[in-house]
Amino acid sequence: MDWSYWRTVSLVTLCQVAASICYYTVFAATPFFRAEFGLSRFHVGFVVTALTLGYAIFLLPAGAVIDRFGEARMLTLGLVGLSAGTLLVAGAPTFALLLAAAFFLGSTYASAIPGTNKAIYDSIAPGKQNLAIGIKQVGVTAGSGISALLVTGLAGVLFWQAGFLIATAVGLVVAVIFALVYSGVGGEGTAEYPDFRDLAGNRPYRVLVLAGFFLGAAFFTTTGYAVLYVNEEIGTSVAFAGAVLALVQVTGSVGRIVGGWLSDTLPGAPRARIGSILLVQALVGAGLFVAVAAASTAVTVTIAFAALGFFILGNTGVYYSCMSTVVGADEMGSATAGGQLSLVAGSIVAPPAFGYLADTVGYRASWWLLGAGCVVAAGLLVFVIRLEPPIDEPAMQE
């Protein structure tokens, strides 16, 4: 692979890392929100919901603008907005303003996944795109892991907002670097909202998006409650719980790279082989949620979460690669936004439900709920593999 490949992948991944450091500060700070504002587990879920709701509302408009104008400007503006949103969350004086700040932070993250995905498919040659997507998606888990260590680690040394301030600075620095160095595909003129009727008429895309709802519920709720669960149920320190979340992100990063590599190298038609990888990830993830619920010591819960990260946090790169086998290249920005919207929709509904079950029944029922959702996602993925998309040339070529 030549220098231009690694230059593009590295720069796009750096952008994704910085965006995720800002966005995932909220997930790492749930114990501090609970202590600062006197929240129940149920109300903690609404902080995550406000964050992801802002993300969900702006995903489709962001995808439309990226398809029209290109990713370069949108990703730069998104990083500036993320930095501002992170600062607002850290300074929120009341629970209501915390929800508003979380909503704003989520809305500014909307350009990150569609923009970085489009950058890969516009700039990387077929045959190398799955690995590039897997590496780029490591930026999500790497950024989340870094934010977990920043927020939970610095809280004991300085104050709980210290990690947020560093995340703000990182976002602004990377925004400047990206604006100066990246040269992407762009357009001119007035943005036109894309016709989503073509995507809505694509049956395998619709089913994949529906599966994404359950995969997103598992992904975001795991990251949202991992620190609280390990701290409260297992009885560890917040710093140890933050380290467990960071480990989950590390194994998730490994899972994304392995998933991307397998998607490029395994034999068979792209849709069948990539869809099968995603199917296995969902089924194994369901079993691992049961293992997390059964864990009772710091060692066993760490092992269970590490494995869960590999399969559940490691599946998003494969999810987008699978999507590229059922839609055309000119639809990838909008299709990614729609798919990500489904992932986020799951994260809007699931965290309060998870918190409610944890408050009223116990954490075990909450983890079982996520496992059941993964089983449903696996059933839907069988149909994605079997259905033929109504397109001549998918974004992912043989």
Spell out the SS3 assignment of 79-135: HHHHHHHHHHHHHCCCHHHHHHHHHHHHHHHHHHHHHHHHHHHHHCCCCCHHHHHHH
AA identity, residue 39: L
How many beta carbons lie within 10 A of that of residue 154, not counting itself?
18
Strands (E), the chain: none
Distance CA 361, CA 358 (A): 6
Backbone angles phi, psi at 235, to 5 degrees: 85, 30
Of residues 245, 370, 303, 55, the one with CA closest to residue 63: 55
In this structure, are residues 367 and 233 in contact, taking their beta carbons and an 8 Å threshold? no
Domain made up of 3-182+197-386: CATH architecture = Up-down Bundle (1.20)
Q: What is the pLDDT of residue 272?
A: 82
Of residues 277, 258, 263, 310, the one with CA closest to residue 385: 277
CB-count burial class (<10 Å; 0-12, 13-18, 19+) for 305: buried
Below-50 pLDDT ranges, the chain: 187-191
Write the DSSP symbol of residue 110: G
Of residues 208, 255, 238, 126, the one with CA closest to residue 382: 208
Q: At what angle do helices 71-91 and 162-181 cross, to 10 degrees?
A: 170
Q: What is the pLDDT of residue 266?
A: 81
Q: What is the pLDDT of residue 395?
A: 54
End-to-end Cα spacing for the chain = 18
For residue 40, what are its two tokens? 């129940």
Which residue's entry shows tokens 């496992």?
371
CB-count burial class (<10 Å; 0-12, 13-18, 19+) for 186: middle
Q: What is the pLDDT of residue 378?
A: 93
**Residues contacting residue 252 through CB under 8 Å, at least 6 positions apart:** 140, 141, 309, 310, 312, 313, 314
Q: What is the pTM of this model?
A: 0.71
How many beta carbons lie within 10 A of that of residue 265, not counting itself?
10
How many beta carbons lie within 10 A of that of residue 72, not counting itself?
18
CA dihedral defined by 77, 62, 385, 368, rounded to 10 degrees?
80
Which residue's entry shows tokens 């694509």?
202
Distance CA 329, CA 42 (A): 41
In this structure, are residues 336 and 208 in contact, taking their beta carbons and an 8 Å threshold? no
